[in-house]
Amino acid sequence: MNENSVVIITGANSGMGKATTIEVAKTGANVVMLCRNQSRGKEAFNEVKKITKNNKVKFMLCDLGSRQSIHDFVTEFKKRYDRLDVLINNAGVILPGRHETVDGYELQFGVNHLGHFLLTNLLLDLLISSQPSRVVNVSSGAHKSGKIYFDDVNLTKNYRIFRAYAQSKLANIMFTYELASRLKDTNVTVNCLHPGAVATSIGINRDTGFGKFITGILKPFFNTPEKGAETAIYLAMSDEIEGVSGKYFIRKKQVQSSENSYDQEAAKKLWKLSEEMTGLSVNK
């Protein structure tokens, strides 16, 4: 990575996203902080610029729970930039109670998987034309208890908070492996990671304070956001993994993910379903 590199980081305004942004920005690269909230995004943007002294850091709005917002962001991004060297899909959500995206999909699957699936696919042309380039997907060890509920992917019947989260995180890994397979003849690599248990605001419901309560109790046992971000930064920047693709990492080491995550037939089925849910299949 160098000062000409262009990097997008989703969920860049807090936690691991902000920690990742700071380290990447220190290289002098063009870093686009993709955030959902204007005020929190702007505040983090000003903080990152102050710490890194990098005037090429930019802040752009995008709600990963909205197909229209993702399309609008990609259109605007392509007006400003003619290349993309690294895409770090970091944003994530976990909330008590069942919620839906503006498009009517279960929120965790909609944001954690579908939002990043659509964003990545809409940016593939730039990633390919800018190769060698990288896609880094932040998953979770929670994927091990996950299953893709193809008969009710929106969990309208048997919603459980961790069932929804585990499904979305398994989807992240299956998406990683399938995309890596589809890009095997290019120099675009796609890898994913488990950052460890990290004390971030991912679970905070600003109405109930649920996440803040849980995080407060468990914080002494959690990694800091900076520690959690180390593997994502490694996958985005290290020369050691040049050419490595379709792998799962913990603490900068390649490890095996769950048995379910290697089901190629299910991965292809998930890809087709994701195309339909995001509207990508309509444009084919």
- Which residues are catalytically annotated? 165
Measured in degrees and rounded to the nearest 5, phi and psi for residue 248 equal -120, 130
Q: Alpha-carbon distance 92 to 100, whole Å?
A: 14
CA quadruple 33, 100, 118, 282: dihedral positive or negative? negative
**Number of neighbours of residue 120 by Cβ within 10 angstroms:** 20
Lateral strand order in the sheet of 188-194? 58-61, 30-35, 6-10, 86-89, 133-138, 188-194, 248-250, 253-255
**Residue 253, beta-bridge partner list:** 250
Other beta carbons less than 10 A from residue 136's beta carbon: 26
Question: Which residues, 6+ apart, have CB-to-CB distance to 198 below 8 Å?
Answer: 15, 16, 222, 223, 224, 225, 227, 228
Q: Give the other-Cβ count within 10 Å of 50's Cβ.
A: 8
> How far is 262 from 146, CA to CA, in rounded Å?
13
Other C-beta atoms lying within 10 Å of the C-beta of residue 255 = 11
Nearest Cα residue to 111 out of 61, 159, 169:
169
CB atoms within 10 A of CB 189: 24
